Amino acid sequence: MTQSEEQLASLNLLREALNYLERLPAHPMTYAMALKIRNHLNNPQTLALERRHHEVEAAEKFSRHGHSASFGFTNEGLPTLTTSLLDDVLTLKSPAAAQLPEEELEGFSRRLTTLLAEGIEVRLAPVQLKSNRADTK
């Protein structure tokens, strides 16, 4: 078990303890301990730790079972359309649209809609997970 997995297991145990404490009869000490645990679980650092773990987990799953591709690029190098297929879920996104100023968005949307109406063929390729480990460089 990795350190991250151990930390998540500890957080889950704290959630169970909090659930148990909240079901006990009201008592000032029980309330104080439940509040302490709830504050820890809602701490931004704790939430960020969980979010990072879930993102890494999703990336690892995607690298084993996912495919992705991009279609068309703006002058700035942003993909007009990206696709990703994870198991049986296809996701389409437009990173370029997210970066455009509002006054350019309408024309871009029209061009993208026209492309979609005509049909776009995108060849998906298996995703290669990039390792950040020093021993693989």
Q: Is residue 115 part of a domain?
A: yes
Q: Is 96 exposed, middle or buried (0-12, 13-18, 19+ CB in 10 A)?
A: buried
Residue 93: domain span: 66-126
Q: Is residue 134 part of a domain?
A: no
Q: Is residue 36 part of a domain?
A: yes
Question: Over the stretch 45-104, which tens digit does the pLDDT of each residue have?
Answer: 888 888 877 776 666 665 555 666 666 777 667 777 788 777 777 788 888 888 888 888
Of 34, 61, 88, which residue is a domain's last?
61
Q: Is residue 132 part of a domain?
A: no
Number of folded domains in the chain? 2
Q: Is residue 137 part of a domain?
A: no
Which SS3 state, helix, strand or coil, does residue 136 take? helix
Question: Is the per-residue pLDDT at 117 higher than 90?
Answer: no
Handedness of CA 17, 19, 21, 24 (dihedral sign): negative
Same domain, 50 and 74: no
Q: Is residue 135 part of a domain?
A: no
Amino acid code (one letter) for 64: R
